[in-house]
Amino acid sequence: MQTVKLAIAGFGTVGTGLARIIEENKDVIFARCGKKFSITSVLVRDLNKQRDYFPGPDVKFTNDLDEFTSSPDVDIVVELMGGTTVAKDIVTKALEAGKHVVTANKHLLAEHGIELFEIAAKNNVGLYYESSVAGGIPIIQSIKESLAANRIKSIVGILNGTANYILSEMSTNGLEFDTALEQATRLGYAEADPTFDIEGIDAAHKVVVLTRIAYGKDYPLAKLPVEGITRIEGQDIRFAREFGYRIKLIGQVRDVGGKLEAGVFPALVKYTLLLARVGGNYNAIRVEGNAVGPAFFHGQGAGSLPTGSAVLADIMALSKTDTPDNTGFCNAPIEKADILAPEFATSEYYFRFSVMDKAGVMAALSKCLAEHNISIAQAVQKGNPDDKEIPVVFTTHKASTKDVNSALAEIDKMPFITRKTLSMRILKG
């Protein structure tokens, strides 16, 4: 029996889950790949921290980075620390030493993936990252292998469980954003600093990773349009429901005439679509290929065992191959994507204008939108005459981002506007 020796950097939620699965599922793991997996060392920041699980008396815990990275008695290094500083150092040294690497670090891959893939290719070792996107959902391997014969037309997904939980609570239980965020934090779904989740940054990292594996192209993170959910209010949830939609934070990339359009944004999703029905802290991804058509993936986007499952799947895959395929394109260099300028993207839109209740408001709004080539599909005005501010909501037919931005910049300067206008895309299919 061949024993594959693992060194794990980071032993928090995911590291603990990985160790548990290795121990509890060792019979099925051996049955599938004919190998035993042994954890030899674990790098942690605090040796004195109380831990719920230990992988065995022979496993060495260390907080010495040099000791961890220089150990020769390792086949695969598993990076679960997060961040882009120490983690990058660990991954780089492991690859240069001829060791395979498995990582869950989407931030590292989004920022430095191109460089790391080149190092891996030069040293003929694997850099696998199934767990970096959507936790336990097998999306990376599915695109890389099961959908390999397809030209990918689009990927649209709910890629952040924290944001989805907040929006689900706002929709289902009528909570306002701040209350839903506080509840998510209390339940452990949101970090103490939730910025990456609620501002769309975490989802943006995942869109960059998915774009590479789907198209073999690099859409630089710095160029990706990103918008979070912090401006969404309970009234938007109610208006969306009235129109037949649910609000979700969407990560998307699609092929538009040979150019890639990508971004992260809150959107009104038609209630009949499966994405609209994804609740709580779950993730979901819809991939459309030119041969297979649409394929839908749904499951736990985070957590100890789901993410640990994805990490171990990569470990098992690397233990069975002599020719790892890290990028899905025979490890060919990843070129820069031909990007569709964000201002030329088109979509139907939802606008919520906050206005003073005065005569002529609807006419002025409609006139300005028409002058910018934006056609109104529906209009709703609600509120009492005594209110200092009332919402006016429009939905539109398809319009370009350029026209929308120009129209809203002009409207927000109008004297009856009390707050900056909220706009969101509408997804119907």
Is 79 annotated as ligand-binding? no
| Contact status, residue 249 vs residue 168, Cβ threshold 8 Å | no
Q: What's the CA gap between 420 and 66, in Å, rounded?
A: 52
Written as six digits, the tokens of 323 are 């020719």
Is 92 annotated as ligand-binding? no
DSSP class of 386: T
Is 228 annotated as ligand-binding? no
Q: 10 Å Cβ neighbour count for 66?
A: 9
Which of 64, 119, 141 has the alpha carbon at shortest distance from 318? 141
Is 234 annotated as ligand-binding? no
Torsion of CA 362, 366, 369, 373, to 10 degrees: 170
| Contact status, residue 7 vs residue 67, Cβ threshold 8 Å | no
Is 269 annotated as ligand-binding? no
Residues in the chain: 429
Is 10 annotated as ligand-binding? yes
The one-letter amino acid at 334:
I
**Among 93, 144, 206, 248, which one carries the catalytic annotation?**
206
Written as six digits, the tokens of 273 are 């679509």
Main-chain phi, psi angles of 54, to 5 degrees? -120, 135
Q: What's the CA gap between 285 and 160, in Å, rounded?
A: 11
| Contact status, residue 354 vs residue 391, Cβ threshold 8 Å | yes
Is 191 annotated as ligand-binding? yes
Angstrom distances, CA of residue 104 to CA of 232, 241, 391: 30, 36, 43
Is 13 annotated as ligand-binding? yes
The one-letter amino acid at 286:
R
Q: What's the CA gap between 342 and 114, in Å, rounded?
A: 23
Which of 425, 418, 408, 375 has the alpha carbon at shortest distance from 240? 425
Does the active-site annotation cover 122? no
Annotated binding site: 9-16, 106, 191
Annotated binding site for NADPH: 106
Binding residues for L-homoserine: 191
Q: Could you list the active site residues?
A: 206
- Binding-site annotation, residues for NADP(+): 9-16
